[in-house]
Amino acid sequence: MRLGIVGMVPGDPRAITAEHLRRAGALNITTVCYHIGEPILSELTAPDCRGINDLYTQEGLELAQMGIGYRECLFDPDAETRNHVVRLIDRGIETACRLNAGMALIRTGSLNPAGAYSPSRRNIESGRLEQLVETLRRVADKAEHEGMTIVIETHLLTLMGSPEINRQVIEAVGSSRMKVVMDFVNHFQSLEQVYNSTSRIDHIFDVMGDISSIAHIKDIKLSDGLVLHIDEEVPGEGELDLVTAVRRWEALYPTGYMLVEHLPDDRIPTAVANVHRIAREAGVSVT
Protein backbone atom coordinates (compact mmCIF):
# COMPACT_ATOMS: atom_id res chain seq x y z
CA MET A 1 0.00 0.00 0.00
CA ARG A 2 0.95 3.65 -0.14
CA LEU A 3 0.72 6.17 2.68
CA GLY A 4 0.05 9.89 2.81
CA ILE A 5 -1.42 12.71 4.82
CA VAL A 6 -4.05 15.42 4.66
CA GLY A 7 -2.38 18.40 6.28
CA MET A 8 0.98 20.08 6.94
CA VAL A 9 0.38 22.45 4.02
CA PRO A 10 -1.68 25.66 3.72
CA GLY A 11 -5.32 25.44 2.63
CA ASP A 12 -4.49 27.66 -0.34
CA PRO A 13 -2.21 25.56 -2.57
CA ARG A 14 -0.66 28.74 -4.00
CA ALA A 15 0.97 29.21 -0.59
CA ILE A 16 2.59 25.75 -0.52
CA THR A 17 6.37 25.88 -0.53
CA ALA A 18 9.11 23.35 -1.12
CA GLU A 19 9.85 23.48 2.62
CA HIS A 20 6.26 22.43 3.44
CA LEU A 21 6.57 19.43 1.15
CA ARG A 22 10.06 18.46 2.30
CA ARG A 23 8.97 18.47 5.93
CA ALA A 24 6.02 16.23 5.08
CA GLY A 25 7.97 13.99 2.72
CA ALA A 26 10.56 13.37 5.44
CA LEU A 27 7.90 11.30 7.23
CA ASN A 28 8.31 8.60 4.54
CA ILE A 29 5.07 9.30 2.71
CA THR A 30 4.36 9.92 -0.96
CA THR A 31 1.30 12.16 -1.02
CA VAL A 32 0.34 15.41 0.73
CA CYS A 33 -3.33 16.29 0.28
CA TYR A 34 -5.55 19.30 0.96
CA HIS A 35 -9.06 20.69 0.50
CA ILE A 36 -9.99 23.69 -1.66
CA GLY A 37 -13.19 25.71 -1.36
CA GLU A 38 -14.46 29.07 -2.52
CA PRO A 39 -13.13 31.61 -3.32
CA ILE A 40 -9.85 29.83 -4.03
CA LEU A 41 -11.46 27.45 -6.54
CA SER A 42 -12.51 30.44 -8.64
CA GLU A 43 -9.19 32.24 -8.26
CA LEU A 44 -6.77 29.44 -9.22
CA THR A 45 -5.35 29.96 -12.70
CA ALA A 46 -3.77 27.48 -15.09
CA PRO A 47 -0.30 28.94 -14.35
CA ASP A 48 -1.01 28.56 -10.60
CA CYS A 49 -1.77 24.88 -11.12
CA ARG A 50 1.31 24.31 -13.26
CA GLY A 51 3.48 25.89 -10.56
CA ILE A 52 1.95 23.70 -7.85
CA ASN A 53 2.38 20.59 -10.00
CA ASP A 54 6.02 21.44 -10.67
CA LEU A 55 6.65 21.83 -6.94
CA TYR A 56 5.13 18.41 -6.18
CA THR A 57 7.15 16.82 -8.97
CA GLN A 58 10.37 18.40 -7.68
CA GLU A 59 9.78 16.91 -4.24
CA GLY A 60 8.80 13.47 -5.54
CA LEU A 61 5.23 13.73 -4.23
CA GLU A 62 1.78 13.45 -5.74
CA LEU A 63 -1.72 14.68 -4.96
CA ALA A 64 -3.74 11.51 -4.36
CA GLN A 65 -6.89 13.32 -3.18
CA MET A 66 -8.14 16.88 -3.55
CA GLY A 67 -11.10 17.77 -1.36
CA ILE A 68 -13.77 20.12 -2.75
CA GLY A 69 -15.08 22.40 -0.01
CA TYR A 70 -18.65 23.73 0.21
CA ARG A 71 -21.41 24.18 2.80
CA GLU A 72 -24.43 23.24 0.71
CA CYS A 73 -26.33 19.95 0.94
CA LEU A 74 -26.51 17.71 -2.13
CA PHE A 75 -30.10 16.72 -1.35
CA ASP A 76 -31.37 20.16 -0.37
CA PRO A 77 -35.08 20.47 -1.36
CA ASP A 78 -34.31 23.80 -3.04
CA ALA A 79 -33.37 23.17 -6.68
CA GLU A 80 -31.26 26.33 -7.00
CA THR A 81 -29.20 25.36 -3.96
CA ARG A 82 -28.49 21.98 -5.59
CA ASN A 83 -27.70 23.65 -8.90
CA HIS A 84 -25.25 25.99 -7.17
CA VAL A 85 -23.36 23.22 -5.39
CA VAL A 86 -23.21 21.08 -8.55
CA ARG A 87 -21.67 24.02 -10.42
CA LEU A 88 -19.13 24.43 -7.61
CA ILE A 89 -18.30 20.71 -7.64
CA ASP A 90 -17.95 20.84 -11.43
CA ARG A 91 -15.40 23.61 -11.01
CA GLY A 92 -13.66 21.56 -8.34
CA ILE A 93 -13.45 18.56 -10.69
CA GLU A 94 -11.86 20.73 -13.36
CA THR A 95 -9.38 22.07 -10.79
CA ALA A 96 -8.57 18.56 -9.56
CA CYS A 97 -7.77 17.59 -13.14
CA ARG A 98 -5.47 20.59 -13.59
CA LEU A 99 -3.70 19.69 -10.34
CA ASN A 100 -3.19 16.08 -11.48
CA ALA A 101 -5.16 14.81 -8.47
CA GLY A 102 -5.80 11.10 -8.30
CA MET A 103 -9.38 11.72 -7.19
CA ALA A 104 -11.66 14.46 -5.88
CA LEU A 105 -13.43 14.15 -2.54
CA ILE A 106 -16.96 15.43 -1.87
CA ARG A 107 -19.49 15.03 0.96
CA THR A 108 -23.27 14.72 1.01
CA GLY A 109 -23.87 17.62 3.38
CA SER A 110 -26.73 17.93 5.85
CA LEU A 111 -29.96 19.90 6.19
CA ASN A 112 -28.70 20.95 9.61
CA PRO A 113 -27.25 24.46 9.09
CA ALA A 114 -24.59 23.71 11.72
CA GLY A 115 -22.58 21.72 9.19
CA ALA A 116 -22.17 18.76 6.87
CA TYR A 117 -21.63 16.26 9.70
CA SER A 118 -24.37 17.57 11.98
CA PRO A 119 -27.44 15.31 12.21
CA SER A 120 -30.95 16.35 11.26
CA ARG A 121 -34.30 14.56 11.24
CA ARG A 122 -34.91 16.19 7.86
CA ASN A 123 -32.04 14.22 6.35
CA ILE A 124 -34.01 10.97 6.56
CA GLU A 125 -37.38 12.28 5.35
CA SER A 126 -38.99 10.49 2.43
CA GLY A 127 -37.35 11.29 -0.89
CA ARG A 128 -34.04 12.60 0.46
CA LEU A 129 -32.03 9.54 -0.60
CA GLU A 130 -33.54 9.62 -4.07
CA GLN A 131 -32.68 13.31 -4.37
CA LEU A 132 -29.10 12.60 -3.32
CA VAL A 133 -28.77 9.92 -6.00
CA GLU A 134 -30.12 12.32 -8.63
CA THR A 135 -27.56 14.97 -7.68
CA LEU A 136 -24.72 12.46 -7.57
CA ARG A 137 -25.62 11.30 -11.08
CA ARG A 138 -25.12 14.88 -12.29
CA VAL A 139 -21.73 14.99 -10.54
CA ALA A 140 -20.83 11.61 -12.06
CA ASP A 141 -21.62 12.91 -15.57
CA LYS A 142 -19.05 15.67 -15.13
CA ALA A 143 -16.54 13.26 -13.57
CA GLU A 144 -16.92 10.87 -16.50
CA HIS A 145 -16.48 13.70 -18.99
CA GLU A 146 -13.29 14.90 -17.29
CA GLY A 147 -11.90 11.45 -16.46
CA MET A 148 -11.83 12.17 -12.72
CA THR A 149 -12.82 9.73 -9.97
CA ILE A 150 -15.10 11.13 -7.24
CA VAL A 151 -14.97 9.73 -3.71
CA ILE A 152 -17.72 10.48 -1.19
CA GLU A 153 -16.76 10.93 2.46
CA THR A 154 -19.51 9.06 4.31
CA HIS A 155 -20.30 9.01 8.04
CA LEU A 156 -22.84 7.53 10.45
CA LEU A 157 -24.20 11.06 11.11
CA THR A 158 -24.95 11.62 7.41
CA LEU A 159 -27.54 10.31 5.01
CA MET A 160 -24.92 7.78 3.83
CA GLY A 161 -24.66 6.50 7.38
CA SER A 162 -23.92 2.79 6.97
CA PRO A 163 -21.91 0.53 4.65
CA GLU A 164 -25.18 -0.88 3.32
CA ILE A 165 -26.59 2.54 2.39
CA ASN A 166 -23.27 3.45 0.81
CA ARG A 167 -23.46 0.44 -1.45
CA GLN A 168 -27.11 1.16 -2.28
CA VAL A 169 -26.29 4.72 -3.33
CA ILE A 170 -23.21 3.84 -5.40
CA GLU A 171 -25.10 1.11 -7.23
CA ALA A 172 -28.03 3.47 -7.88
CA VAL A 173 -25.71 6.13 -9.33
CA GLY A 174 -24.23 3.46 -11.57
CA SER A 175 -20.96 5.15 -12.55
CA SER A 176 -17.46 3.70 -12.42
CA ARG A 177 -16.29 7.24 -11.58
CA MET A 178 -18.33 7.42 -8.33
CA LYS A 179 -16.84 5.72 -5.25
CA VAL A 180 -16.76 6.12 -1.46
CA VAL A 181 -13.85 6.64 0.90
CA MET A 182 -12.92 3.60 2.95
CA ASP A 183 -13.13 5.58 6.19
CA PHE A 184 -14.04 2.64 8.41
CA VAL A 185 -13.84 4.72 11.61
CA ASN A 186 -16.92 6.63 10.43
CA HIS A 187 -19.09 3.52 10.53
CA PHE A 188 -18.79 2.31 14.12
CA GLN A 189 -22.23 2.69 15.64
CA SER A 190 -22.11 1.05 19.07
CA LEU A 191 -19.97 0.15 22.07
CA GLU A 192 -20.09 -3.51 21.08
CA GLN A 193 -18.76 -2.76 17.61
CA VAL A 194 -15.83 -0.79 19.01
CA TYR A 195 -14.90 -3.50 21.50
CA ASN A 196 -15.25 -6.17 18.81
CA SER A 197 -13.60 -4.10 16.13
CA THR A 198 -12.12 -6.93 14.08
CA SER A 199 -15.53 -8.26 13.08
CA ARG A 200 -16.88 -4.75 12.42
CA ILE A 201 -13.89 -3.85 10.24
CA ASP A 202 -14.30 -7.10 8.32
CA HIS A 203 -18.00 -6.33 7.76
CA ILE A 204 -17.27 -2.79 6.56
CA PHE A 205 -14.68 -4.07 4.10
CA ASP A 206 -16.97 -6.90 2.96
CA VAL A 207 -19.71 -4.40 2.07
CA MET A 208 -17.72 -1.33 0.99
CA GLY A 209 -14.37 -2.66 -0.14
CA ASP A 210 -15.00 -2.89 -3.87
CA ILE A 211 -16.78 0.48 -4.04
CA SER A 212 -13.89 2.33 -2.39
CA SER A 213 -10.77 3.74 -4.03
CA ILE A 214 -8.90 5.51 -1.21
CA ALA A 215 -8.78 4.94 2.55
CA HIS A 216 -8.47 7.19 5.60
CA ILE A 217 -6.73 5.64 8.58
CA LYS A 218 -7.71 6.76 12.07
CA ASP A 219 -8.46 5.10 15.39
CA ILE A 220 -11.27 5.34 17.95
CA LYS A 221 -11.34 6.17 21.63
CA LEU A 222 -14.35 5.96 23.93
CA SER A 223 -14.84 9.03 26.12
CA ASP A 224 -16.67 9.34 29.44
CA GLY A 225 -20.27 10.52 29.63
CA LEU A 226 -23.79 9.32 30.28
CA VAL A 227 -24.36 8.75 26.57
CA LEU A 228 -22.05 7.07 24.06
CA HIS A 229 -19.06 9.17 22.94
CA ILE A 230 -17.09 7.64 20.06
CA ASP A 231 -14.20 9.96 19.21
CA GLU A 232 -11.38 9.86 16.68
CA GLU A 233 -7.90 9.04 17.93
CA VAL A 234 -4.38 8.90 16.51
CA PRO A 235 -3.98 5.58 14.67
CA GLY A 236 -2.44 2.99 16.93
CA GLU A 237 -3.48 4.74 20.14
CA GLY A 238 -7.11 3.68 20.34
CA GLU A 239 -9.34 0.61 20.41
CA LEU A 240 -9.35 -0.60 16.82
CA ASP A 241 -7.68 -3.60 15.21
CA LEU A 242 -5.84 -1.56 12.60
CA VAL A 243 -3.65 -4.52 11.64
CA THR A 244 -6.76 -6.11 10.16
CA ALA A 245 -7.76 -2.85 8.46
CA VAL A 246 -4.34 -2.49 6.82
CA ARG A 247 -4.32 -6.14 5.70
CA ARG A 248 -7.80 -5.84 4.21
CA TRP A 249 -6.86 -2.66 2.34
CA GLU A 250 -3.64 -4.18 1.00
CA ALA A 251 -5.54 -7.24 -0.24
CA LEU A 252 -7.91 -5.02 -2.23
CA TYR A 253 -5.61 -2.21 -3.35
CA PRO A 254 -1.90 -3.04 -3.01
CA THR A 255 -1.00 0.29 -4.63
CA GLY A 256 -3.86 2.21 -3.02
CA TYR A 257 -3.43 5.06 -0.57
CA MET A 258 -4.27 5.21 3.11
CA LEU A 259 -4.32 8.81 4.36
CA VAL A 260 -3.75 10.13 7.88
CA GLU A 261 -6.12 13.05 8.49
CA HIS A 262 -7.99 15.19 11.04
CA LEU A 263 -4.93 15.89 13.16
CA PRO A 264 -3.01 19.04 14.11
CA ASP A 265 0.32 19.23 12.34
CA ASP A 266 2.32 18.43 15.47
CA ARG A 267 0.57 15.05 15.88
CA ILE A 268 0.89 13.92 12.27
CA PRO A 269 4.47 12.59 12.60
CA THR A 270 3.43 10.29 15.45
CA ALA A 271 0.39 9.12 13.51
CA VAL A 272 2.44 8.33 10.40
CA ALA A 273 5.10 6.51 12.43
CA ASN A 274 2.35 4.45 14.08
CA VAL A 275 0.89 3.47 10.71
CA HIS A 276 4.31 2.37 9.48
CA ARG A 277 4.61 0.22 12.63
CA ILE A 278 1.12 -1.22 12.18
CA ALA A 279 1.90 -2.05 8.54
CA ARG A 280 5.03 -3.93 9.62
CA GLU A 281 2.97 -5.89 12.16
CA ALA A 282 0.49 -6.67 9.38
CA GLY A 283 3.24 -7.84 7.04
CA VAL A 284 2.35 -5.07 4.59
CA SER A 285 4.95 -3.05 2.69
CA VAL A 286 4.46 0.72 2.45
CA THR A 287 5.81 1.81 -0.93
Task: Quick: pLDDT tens for 15-32.
Answer: 999 999 999 999 999 999
Looking at residue 226, its pLDDT comes to 87
% of residues, the chain, pLDDT over 90: 98
Question: Using CA atoms in the order 106, 112, 118, 124, what is the torsion angle rounded to 10 degrees?
Answer: -80
CA–CA distance, 284 with 287 (Å, rounded to integer) = 9
Check pLDDT > 90 for residue 9.
Answer: yes
How far is residue 252's CA from residue 247's CA, in Å, rounded to a whole number?
Answer: 9
Give 48-65 pLDDT, tens digit per residue: 999 999 999 999 999 999
pLDDT 10s digits, 99-152: 999 999 999 999 999 999 999 999 999 999 999 999 999 999 999 999 999 999
Predicted local confidence at residue 109, as pLDDT: 96
pLDDT of residue 110: 96
Global confidence as pTM: 0.96
The string of pLDDT tens digits covering residues 65-105 is 999 999 999 999 999 999 999 999 999 999 999 999 999 99
Which pLDDT does position 252 carry in this prediction? 98
What is 2-282's CATH number? 3.20.20.150
**Phi, psi values for residue 172, rounded to 5°:** -70, -35
In the chain, where the domains are located: 2-282
Three-class SS state of 213: strand
